[in-house]
Structure 1
């Protein structure tokens, strides 16, 4: 699957979750300790802007705002800009690779956060679970420590939380969530 197609599929799934949030659920706590359901969506929109080096314009409607953010990222992925080299905390890479490794993966993990916060289906597609598991577990320990350190990549940025113990025989989705700092079992926040 191309990076553009993978992003599109993940953005479709995330947008559906945003569209299914009821008005009375936006202040629900999320698995991300400092964020409500609205905070999760705001973060995802902010990260879209970071990928493009600009701020995404905002309204009072998270769905409208996400649609605009994804439109801009998809437009960049489907243009000559996609292969432009950009500076990243991990070193230079193409814009499309940066989007794929950061915001596209964020759509999957924060989609789970939003689903958990709002009582939606929390199932992550198996191919996304396998891909994210392989990516996360391949990170060298010294870099993983930095990923788990709040603020290491800038003010307010935390890539992963502290690892949550999950049984080795648990489903791979649960092991992935525990590895990146989410409790796949507990419904309390």
Structure 2
């Protein structure tokens, strides 16, 4: 079939499983957020806790858009953040469950890749990092899965300096988009999670 990647099976299953685990952890944080916490400031300077979820939901829509799909128009983060995320999650899981859809090659800001790889490298990773943002904003458990921390540390620190500079430049990938903030200095002997957070522009010590 034209436009379908050559890899299948185990790798696709691994991506789907990783997404599912991370989405479940994020959904639990959304579900545990109290009604009076949604306007709390998040570690992202311009975002409230609700804005964090809105970004995640929006990015889910970006993941399925190249397939001619869109999220449920009735979903609203303003009205019901949990319902909006659950619908967005279902849309992505439906794609990952379809081997032909997941293996289609699409154009992305990072180059041509399969839909599954795009999900894995963008929104799946976002669930981990923005899960921390939501937890910090709402007073929940901030611990990330250690395997996710190690994986994200390897991937982020291996980005070429010129590309990382672009990632840290506001609006480089479109109006209002900032992938990472300026690096925050964190002690070299700090836990890897704290070092990862500092590297992507979060201050793990800020209250």
Q: TM-score range by the shorter chain?
A: over 0.9
Cα deviation for residue 27 of structure 1 reads: 0.2
Cα RMSD (Å): 0.9
Residue 202 of structure 2 corresponds to residue 177 of structure 1: no
Residue 77 of structure 2 corresponds to residue 65 of structure 1: no
Q: Distance in 1 between matches of 2:177 and 2:40?
A: 21
Query: 1:125 aligns to what?
Result: 145
Mapping of 1:104-143 within 5 angstroms?
104-143=124-163
Cα deviation for residue 154 of structure 1 reads: 1.0
Q: Distance in 1 between matches of 2:176 and 2:59?
A: 12
Cα deviation for residue 74 of structure 1 reads: 0.6
Q: Distance in 2 between matches of 1:77 and 1:158?
A: 27
Alignment equivalent of 1:145, drawn from 152, 156, 165: 165
Q: Distance in 2 between matches of 1:96 and 1:152?
A: 24
Cα deviation for residue 82 of structure 1 reads: 0.3
Cα deviation for residue 159 of structure 1 reads: 0.6
Distance 1:55 1:28, change over 3 A: farther
Query: 1:27 aligns to what?
Result: 39
Give the TM-score of the pair, scaled to structure 1. Answer: 0.97
Structure 1 range deviating more: 54-63 or 165-174: 54-63
Preserved contact between residue 46 and residue 55 of structure 1 (Cα < 8 Å): no
Once the two structures are superposed, residues 23-81 of structure 1 have per-residue CA deviations (whole angstroms, 9 ceiling, x without a partner) of 00000000000000000000000000011115533231000000000000011011121
Residue 149 of structure 2 corresponds to residue 166 of structure 1: no
Query: 2:123 aligns to what?
Result: 103
Query: 1:8 aligns to what?
Result: 20
Give the TM-score of the pair, scaled to structure 2. Answer: 0.89
Question: Where does structure 2 lack aligned partners over 5 or more consecutive residues?
Answer: 1-12
Q: Distance in 2 between matches of 1:113 and 1:136?
A: 18
Alignment equivalent of 2:174, drawn from 154, 162, 177: 154
Q: Secondary structure at the match of 2:108?
A: coil
Query: 2:110 aligns to what?
Result: 90
Question: Where does structure 1 lack aligned partners over 5 or more consecutive residues?
Answer: none
Moved over 4 A (4+): none
Larger radius of gyration between Structure 1 and Structure 2: 2
Cα deviation for residue 156 of structure 1 reads: 1.1
Q: Distance in 2 between matches of 1:51 and 1:149?
A: 22
